[in-house]
Structure 1
């Protein structure tokens, strides 16, 4: 066997990395040695010769980074295009949950994500969506039961069942949820959790169901409660949920191996400018985490959590996925290698990326709404002017329930710029069903409206604005684009981005998307939007009825704490 022959020095290596400082994530030391590679695998650490020599020129050699939980759809580009963005940031492996596209297109959506990610310089592993729809409190485009998911477990890149977020069904032992858990366990697959706002009893319930991770911790106590019960905690730093600084105090010498990093949901512009989990590493080091520990969390910990036993380290038997880094504290990446071959240099991909050749037309034509009128978006008041209002928390997924007086004329709610109380509308877009209306505080818009077909997790059309006309124009424009983002003022479309793949992603390359997003950001400024948070990202999570406190779905205003619908009027 060639690898044994190279390891024993009876045969030259395919590639040898020389003059590098190896970051050893097993022993927390820096090693000076050659790295021998054969058939894309590391086979030796020591003194070796090879057919090709890579001169590391004194740089650090780190394992390729692993994002432990990401929804690629949230980048708004396809998996193949996503690879072009994150690989230069040192990410060579991701574990993705395609539940965004699955909520729109079911198994066809999962198949598209697998096919489009097949031939890229990024290893894309999949956790199958466990909750499609996420709950019974909104209408999605598909329903996935255990029998639809089971055939995917035989796919070599499917690792298990993704975030189980329907805690009531788990707690009550509902058959549809138990069937998915049992199917995963019988296939010897992993199960991810979603324990947003849940207490220690819930952790016990999830662990008893063989759930082994949670990425929804927002406090040290929550993180420790999960680690103490044998879970892995994924520290999230995405576009909305930024939990890293809050959770790092939970990490110490004795428990650090139970923590890893994830982005969960991150927009393409921030992925380009900040990076992926390489950004986590830099932030962690700045916060006082020892550099090799931070690197270990982004590599070996993630690999072992997801049973990727040939990834996450520079050692014999491991995949030759590695980075050259100028300085550990700034974690400045200059070169990225996959299976021993250069795939990115100085922030740019250097290899070809193959995309899916065809996309199912039902995924491209996924917006089916009825015509929206002013009558559809009215909020009647019959008893006074006190309302239940969704109060956003900038850069957080959670919201607050605000009870306040609102402006009412002729028995209907009127938005107030002075009170920062805007109208919020969710339009079911899969079968042309209902419309949910509510009131939101915190967007700070002074004019116009915005709308999007990204509305976690069922991805109906969601819009907010200062007046009904602009809201309706924005919703109609999203329909005409077959999904996307739009900014409207005085009835005119100021900027947009079409997301024709399931209303979530575009066929455009990421450079074009960045240009469109810049136009959208400029248009938002003309509406008076705050630059402290991204309004579209915040908007996208206001229809997610599994994260406290108040959310709005196509069926109405939902109190997550009590798991029931409530009236807008108090």
Structure 2
């Protein structure tokens, strides 16, 4: 917290009525997140902080506004997000969500770190400084996420240590490599000890972990989990002293399933997060405001939902001046007309009104100054159609990845697949398509091949460099020729998304910042993203789930059950590679 003696003295004097405040929002129906009550009061602000929540109408200010009895809520906090998944930079991301009342986010830049290492983390920190939103960062713990794939960087404890002195860095991000934790591997122990000695937060990633494995996480000092998909999992984490982050993103939508775990006795151990959410959905739905609306619709008392989205997250991450409308807290709050729609009509950040009617009041000119280490990251080997061939020499039975719409988990299936001349042949009627993950950081030539069910693509191919977490190139297709063309085109634009059919580009979105983020303003990026979705429906007329985001998680080998990396088909349950042939 940066504050000088004069500012502190001014705040104290104003709080005692001995000096004039900077601003007062009068007649506000204030959300008291401590007592879970609504209080009609004046919010008194000095030097960016709340100095009084007054019911006596005795304070004076240089400027004031009448809330006319409207609800006023503390600024919302997204407890865990990968901003890169929005496909825009932190500063552009800020301008999208501040008008919705999201004033603080805690982000893990492990997407860009897996591509560009420490330079990627520094880029995110630098760009975040351009935003009015408070963007705090957790240091990526798993770069690469496992030793069973190839990323663009390797980060050890000594690489992360210098970042701990940064003001906006809060701790160690989601620890994904659970075998490394539970077996006490030296590199992982170094990172955990680094965080424990610094007395900072350590986030978890307990996807599919059993209760005894969570016990090992807790013993290691890991304090949170955002991977719960059932109420039972959430209650187990809470009983072992963890915080649970209820996730509602683009691919993983877990709120309705996890919410029944929350009750009056344990509610202070829950908060909301989005984890990964695409730009178009952020614009249409919002983020934590959307979670609150869903929670209220599911029957949660509105003040309880607000507490999860504000105070709980602030206290978990030791943000002692955030999360409430009370003396001594940052003057971050927003006003809504009603609890049903829960849409911000005005937003204040540090006591200054910054947004109204879903628009920023002041827009800085968009600019980006980018290095080649950040923008030239897609390097493929020389590819040919034969690189996508999958030999099948048995009776045709194969290990197949079955995707689950709107989930990032998959199932392992054994299926008899079509074979022609000893090679697997994609079949749209049976929804058996070809999948490839190609190492794109060092042009090593690594290509992982697999068969996938559930995407429903009817023709053509789709390729992207957004492929969690190592962000190699992943391509899904109905034929080898379009898969090859899609990969070559994606390299030419240095990453992003492309839809290819009969050798022609139907739509594309360039993401030249590490192959993950656009170098254009958010409004232009979302227009191109919408065109991409439109083209997708031409080759998948009955699409009813978020295909791009689901595809981007098929390569993440820490989420059950079966995934594909650049080194081959990976059985996450048994944590080993398996052949395509069953």
TM-score (norm 1): 0.99
* Aligned-pair CA distance for 1:329: 3.0
Where do 5+ consecutive residues of structure 1 fail to align? Answer: none
Aligned CA distance change for structure 1 residues 125 and 514 (closer, same or farther; 3 Å): same
SS at match of 1:335: strand
1:229 aligns with 2:243: no
SS at match of 1:299: helix
| Superimposed CA distance per residue, residues 257-312 of structure 1 (whole angstroms, 9 cap, x where no aligned partner) | 10000000000000000001000000000000000000000000000010001000
- Per the alignment, residue 32 of structure 1 pairs with 40
Equivalent-residue separation in structure 2 for 1:154 and 1:561 (angstroms): 37
Instruction: Summarize the alignment of residues 285-324 of structure 1 with structure 2, pairs less than 5 Å apart.
Output: 285-324=296-335
Correspondent of 2:516 among 480, 504, 514: 504
* Aligned-pair CA distance for 1:372: 1.4
- Per the alignment, residue 45 of structure 1 pairs with 53
Equivalent-residue separation in structure 2 for 1:372 and 1:126 (angstroms): 38
Equivalent-residue separation in structure 1 for 2:530 and 2:41 (angstroms): 46
CA contact (8 A) 2:400 2:451 kept: yes
Equivalent-residue separation in structure 1 for 2:121 and 2:443 (angstroms): 23
Aligned CA distance change for structure 1 residues 150 and 344 (closer, same or farther; 3 Å): same
Correspondent of 1:489 among 482, 490, 501: 501
1:22 aligns with 2:30: yes
Equivalent-residue separation in structure 2 for 1:354 and 1:154 (angstroms): 30
Equivalent-residue separation in structure 2 for 1:221 and 1:354 (angstroms): 48
Equivalent-residue separation in structure 1 for 2:192 and 2:348 (angstroms): 36
- Per the alignment, residue 3 of structure 1 pairs with 11
Equivalent-residue separation in structure 1 for 2:373 and 2:535 (angstroms): 31
Aligned CA distance change for structure 1 residues 363 and 259 (closer, same or farther; 3 Å): same
SS at match of 1:198: coil
SS at match of 1:106: helix
- Per the alignment, residue 547 of structure 2 pairs with 535
Equivalent-residue separation in structure 2 for 1:353 and 1:256 (angstroms): 39
SS at match of 1:295: helix
- Per the alignment, residue 247 of structure 1 pairs with 258
* Aligned-pair CA distance for 1:380: 0.5
CA contact (8 A) 2:436 2:448 kept: yes
SS at match of 1:73: helix
- Per the alignment, residue 458 of structure 2 pairs with 446
Correspondent of 1:462 among 457, 471, 474: 474
CA contact (8 A) 1:42 1:320 kept: yes
* Aligned-pair CA distance for 1:357: 4.9
Aligned CA distance change for structure 1 residues 353 and 231 (closer, same or farther; 3 Å): farther
Equivalent-residue separation in structure 2 for 1:440 and 1:382 (angstroms): 18
CA contact (8 A) 2:401 2:563 kept: yes
CA contact (8 A) 1:115 1:356 kept: no
- Per the alignment, residue 218 of structure 1 pairs with 229
CA contact (8 A) 1:76 1:506 kept: yes
Query: Which segment is superposed worse, 419-428 or 372-381?
Result: 372-381
* Aligned-pair CA distance for 1:381: 1.1
SS at match of 2:252: coil
| Superimposed CA distance per residue, residues 528-570 of structure 1 (whole angstroms, 9 cap, x where no aligned partner) | 2543112111110000000001100000000001101111111
Q: What's the Cα RMSD here? A: 1.0
Correspondent of 2:160 among 149, 159, 170: 149
Aligned CA distance change for structure 1 residues 529 and 452 (closer, same or farther; 3 Å): farther
Correspondent of 1:419 among 430, 433, 436: 430
Equivalent-residue separation in structure 2 for 1:349 and 1:87 (angstroms): 8
Where do 5+ consecutive residues of structure 2 fail to align? Answer: 1-8
| Matched residues, number | 570
CA contact (8 A) 2:100 2:343 kept: no
SS at match of 1:142: coil
* Aligned-pair CA distance for 1:121: 1.5
Correspondent of 1:172 among 161, 176, 183: 183
CA contact (8 A) 1:325 1:335 kept: yes
Instruction: Summarize the alignment of residues 547-562 of structure 1 with structure 2, pairs less than 5 Å apart.
Output: 547-562=559-574
1:55 aligns with 2:66: yes
CA contact (8 A) 2:40 2:69 kept: no
Query: Which segment is superposed worse, 403-412 or 348-357?
Result: 348-357
CA contact (8 A) 1:116 1:355 kept: no
CA contact (8 A) 1:119 1:355 kept: no
1:256 aligns with 2:259: no
Instruction: Summarize the alignment of residues 334-353 of structure 1 with structure 2, pairs less than 5 Å apart.
Output: 334-353=345-364
Equivalent-residue separation in structure 2 for 1:83 and 1:510 (angstroms): 10
* Aligned-pair CA distance for 1:332: 2.2
Aligned CA distance change for structure 1 residues 510 and 357 (closer, same or farther; 3 Å): closer
SS at match of 1:264: coil
CA contact (8 A) 2:99 2:356 kept: yes
| Superimposed CA distance per residue, residues 399-455 of structure 1 (whole angstroms, 9 cap, x where no aligned partner) | 011111111111110000110000001110001121111001011111100000000
| Superimposed CA distance per residue, residues 2-59 of structure 1 (whole angstroms, 9 cap, x where no aligned partner) | 0011000000100011011111000111111111100000001113210010211221
Query: Which segment is superposed worse, 401-410 or 352-361?
Result: 352-361
- Per the alignment, residue 392 of structure 1 pairs with 403
